[in-house]
């Protein structure tokens, strides 16, 4: 994977909370959810992250790629892209 969504960044931007409020258990708690499964289990963590993403989508968040790898370096996607929670501009689509 060279591009992905860092759910912690998306959550913090969308719900306007500081980085220290974006730990998995805190995000779940603030959304009124319990942690399902065993902590630090890759599969259970992934399922819980998916539950957070679904809730964010239901709340109107437009999840977008916000990190990528370039030449072996972690890069944050440019701030010129719309922030989470803001609707993306609608561009006309042309067909050739």
Each of the 96 residues of the chain gets a pLDDT tens digit; together they read 789 999 999 999 999 999 999 999 999 999 999 999 998 899 999 999 999 999 999 999 999 999 998 888 888 886 444 444 444 444 444 444
Domains identified in the chain, total number: 1
Predicted structure pTM score: 0.76
Q: What is the CATH number of the domain that holds 54?
A: 3.30.420.10
Q: Which two tokens stand for residue 1?
A: 């994977």
Beta bridge partners of 67: 4, 76
What is the token pair recorded at 50?
Answer: 């998916």
Instruction: Assess if residue 89 is contained within a domain.
Output: no
Buried-exposed string 50-73: b where 16+ CB fall within 10 A, e elsewhere: ebbbebbeeeebeeeebeeeeeee
Q: Which domain holds residue 13?
A: 3-76
């Amino acid at each position: 994977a060279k591009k992905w969504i860092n759910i912690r960044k998306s959550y913090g931007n969308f719900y306007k909370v500081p980085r220290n409020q974006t730990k998995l258990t805190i995000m779940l708690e603030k959304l009124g959810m319990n942690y399902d499964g065993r902590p630090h289990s890759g599969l259970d963590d992934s399922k819980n992250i998916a539950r957070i993403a679904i809730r964010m989508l239901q709340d109107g968040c437009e999840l977008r790629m916000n990190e990528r790898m370039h030449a072996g370096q972690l890069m944050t996607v440019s701030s010129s892209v719309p922030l989470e929670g803001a609707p993306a501009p609608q561009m006309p689509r042309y067909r050739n």
